[in-house]
Amino acid sequence: MNALIKMLIFPGFGFLFIAALAFDWIDRRMIARFHGRVGPPWYQPLADFIKLLAKEDVVAEGTHGLAAAALPIVSLTAVMTASLYIPVGGIVGASFEGDLIVVLFLLALPALAYFLAGWISAGVYSVLGGHRSLLQYFSCEVPFLMAVTCPAILAGSWSINEISNFQAQTAWSALTQPLGFILALIGLIGKLKRDPLDIPKAKSEVVAGPLTDFSGRKLALWHLTMNMQTVLGIFLLVNLFFGGSRFFNRVPALPVFGLKSVAILLMLSTASALYARLRIDQLMDLGWRILAPLALIQILATLWIGG
């Protein structure tokens, strides 16, 4: 019974759904303030979701219908499964030694599904966006993986919860490995395909990328997947780089965790508002010539400190 509650309500799917909508709203609101706009009311993400669910679901001619229906469900499932292994404020859904690797794998699945969504579509924008998403995945995933490895090396464990607890006894990884945190943040922006790395879905170039031909329920599921991925990516970074709550012993862990997550979300929103989109070749240059070598340096440094 307890396990079921953990899976379905907290810190499982119900909580994740609400957090996804809430984070989406905070993000939109923040960017709106940067733009000098007011931004949407709090229920806007939910209203958008319901509206899309109710809309007519059109499958374009030439698109593989079964795959188009399966892909959003597969990616949503992968993201929801990953959520079970990411502790929220010290509350663990499920945990075992090596769950960090499982989570990273599960969070990589939506990227593959996103590429396939472009591949099975008949539209040229989708195909081009799909190609771009794969290129972007390769350039961003490598520095991201290398950066999130560093806290694991330091803690000597592949369990997210262990890494988080280890920091409670020592110090935040973001303090001991600031470079690693910045790399992970940039990698996360690329993974989530957010501004300024929204290259696969750049509106002025490929309309909406792989999702151009999706509509109705499927699009709603895609959006939900993206929003949940954002939440999980942020939760993962909080656990890996700002884990534990040694400095806030007197306050409960959960609000502190929420504050840390929102702080990272604000960093993402700021980056969205401040920078112009890169070209895909510029991103590859950035990923392979700058971020990956820096991540390597961070790993070596971590091995040196830890060893």
Contacts 24+ apart (CB under 8 A), 118-122: 118/200, 118/209, 118/210, 119/210, 120/63, 120/64, 120/67, 120/68, 120/71, 121/60, 121/62, 121/63, 121/68, 121/210, 121/212, 121/213, 122/60, 122/61, 122/62, 122/63, 122/213
Task: Please report how close the Cβ of residue 132 comes to other proteins at its closest, in angstroms.
Answer: 8
Q: Which residues does 6 contact at the CB level (< 8 Å), separation at least 6?
A: 12, 84, 93, 94
The reply on whether position 282 binds other proteins by CB under 8 A is yes
Contact code string over 113-152 relative to other proteins, x by CB under 8 A: -----------xx-xx---x--------------------
Closest to 140 measured CA to CA, from 111, 106, 178? 111
Task: Find the binder of other proteins among 67, 142, 207, 253 (CB under 8 A).
Answer: 207
Q: What is the DSSP letter of 9?
A: T
Residue 199 or 226 having the CB closest to other proteins: 199
Whether residue 41 is preceded by a cis peptide bond, meaning omega within 30 degrees of 0, is no
Our finding on whether 289 is near other proteins (CB under 8 A) is no
- Asked whether position 199 contacts other proteins by CB under 8 A, the answer is yes
Nearer to other proteins, 28 or 217 (CB): 28
38 binds other proteins (CB under 8 A): no
Are 38 and 30 spatial neighbours (Cβ–Cβ below 8 Å)? no
- Contact between 204 and other proteins (CB under 8 A)? yes
The stretch near other proteins (CB under 8 A) out of 7-15, 28-36, 92-100, 220-228 is: 28-36
Nearer to other proteins, 136 or 298 (CB): 136
In Å, what is the CA distance from 56 to each residue of 75, 164, 218, 280, 291? 22, 44, 10, 33, 43
> Which window, 89-97, 101-109, 195-203, 227-235, contacts other proteins (CB under 8 A)?
195-203
The nearest distance, CB 281 to other proteins, in angstroms, is 7
Contact with other proteins (CB under 8 A) among 142, 254, 273, 299: 273
Residues 240/165, Cβ–Cβ less than 8 Å: no
Binding residues for other proteins, total number by CB under 8 A: 30
Structure-block tokens of residue 162 = 């262990």
From the list 35, 51, 55, 289, which residue makes contact with other proteins (rule: CB under 8 A)?
A: 35
Backbone φ and ψ of 97, nearest 5°: -65, 115
By CB under 8 A, name the binding residues for other proteins.
Answer: 31, 34-37, 124-125, 127-128, 132, 195-196, 198-199, 202-207, 273-282
